Amino acid sequence: MPLSHLTHLECSICGERHEADVLQTICTACGRALVARYDLTSAARTFSRESLAGRPWNMWRYAEVMPGDVSSPTTLGEGMTPLLSTPRLGAHAGVPDLWVKDEGGNPTGSFKARGLSAAISRARELGVTDLGVPTAGNAGSAAAAYASRAGIRAHVAMPDDTPSTIMAEVQAYGAELTLVKGTISDAGTYIAQRAAEEGWFVLATLKEPYRVEGKKTMGYELWEQFGDLGDGLPDVVVYPTGGGTGLIGMWKAFDELEAMGLIGSERPRMIAVQAEGCAPIVRAFDLRLDRAEPWEDAQTLAPGIRVPAPFADDL
């Protein structure tokens, strides 16, 4: 397998450069999200549709553009989920060529597996022993599973009305579970405080640079899978948006693919879908605001997207 071509971290807002070989959270200059940068010119020498063909059937196949020691990641086989043609659903929705990328087949049942595989791999490499994760639910399951796999202690906080199956799963994987009143925002406050007291490393969405590196592999897979169908990228990507990691990650993947000369400048239209009872990004978009106001009294049947105040709203 080729090596990672990770070079440094960069602030997504102010552009400040940060070391990639030490633990990092947010930009020390401006407090916003850091993103990983790669030497894409040298990555492009070995990264191609053909060279990918013989590689492992998980997201670490994109080794050149993944962080850290890509030859021994903390993996449970995440990624390479099926891309399903859905003609009956498409006819019902009035979309003639509708495809579903079924992320439910990931370890712990959601695409949170991708982000946590990447983040926990990197945390383990950089010496973390205890990590804190505020979650609306699914990131807690994934964090507990991957931390267990890595031999790291996980401390997970989630709303007390999260589905009980998720709570059971987190505990079954051996993580410490704390229930809080309110939403993921309140879980975030709790974890930040406990982490400061006890020295945990916090993996909150986009307050840590590598979860997005895992989630971006959805973009690489869309490129690889639609490419195999001879179609290029899809015209439109519709994504259920909470913290925004997946949407931001796929966009980053397309930029990296372009920089490696593998696609042109065209992009799918990216549509962030939120629940009517918790839609801070949709509201900010409609009002043409750069930042999103926190959503009051967030409620939805879809716990995974109940994120009233996403940290990286501007991205």
Give whichever of 2 and 304 is closer to ligand PLP, judged by the CB atom. 304
By CB under 6 A, which span of 147-155, 168-176, 236-244, 256-264 interacts with ligand PLP? Answer: 236-244
Give how far Cα 259 sits from Cα of 42, 103, 234, Å: 11, 27, 19
Q: What torsion, rounded to 10 degrees, do the Cα atoms 25, 31, 32, 33 define?
A: -10
Under the criterion CB under 6 A, does residue 159 sit at the interface with ligand PLP?
Answer: no
Q: Centre a 10 Å sphere on the Cβ of residue 88 and count the other Cβ atoms it contains.
A: 8
141 counts as binding ligand PLP under rule CB under 6 A: no
- Decide: is 243 part of the binding site for ligand PLP (CB under 6 A): yes
Q: Determine the interface stretch with ligand PLP among 25-33, 161-169, 239-247, 250-258 (rule: CB under 6 A).
A: 239-247
304 sits near ligand PLP (criterion: CB under 6 A): yes
- CB 109, min distance to ligand PLP, A: 8
Task: Check residue 274 for interaction with ligand PLP (CB under 6 A).
Answer: no
Beta bridge partners of 236: 269
Name which position in 240, 255, 262, 277 contacts ligand PLP (CB under 6 A). Answer: 240
CB of 135 to ligand PLP, least distance (A): 8
> Closest separation between CB of residue 248 and ligand PLP, Å?
8
105 is a site residue for ligand PLP (CB under 6 A): no
CA distance 70 to 300: 38
Question: Does residue 308 touch ligand PLP according to CB under 6 A?
Answer: no
The DSSP secondary-structure symbol of 230 reads T
Burial class (CB in 10 A: 0-12, 13-18, 19+), 142: buried
Give the C-alpha separation, 312 to 168, whole Å.
Answer: 29
Instruction: Yes or no: say if 89 and 19 are a contact pair by the CB < 8 Å rule.
Output: no
203, 311 in Cβ contact below 8 A?
Answer: no
What residues line the site for ligand PLP (CB under 6 A)?
Answer: 110, 112, 138, 205, 215, 240-246, 304-305
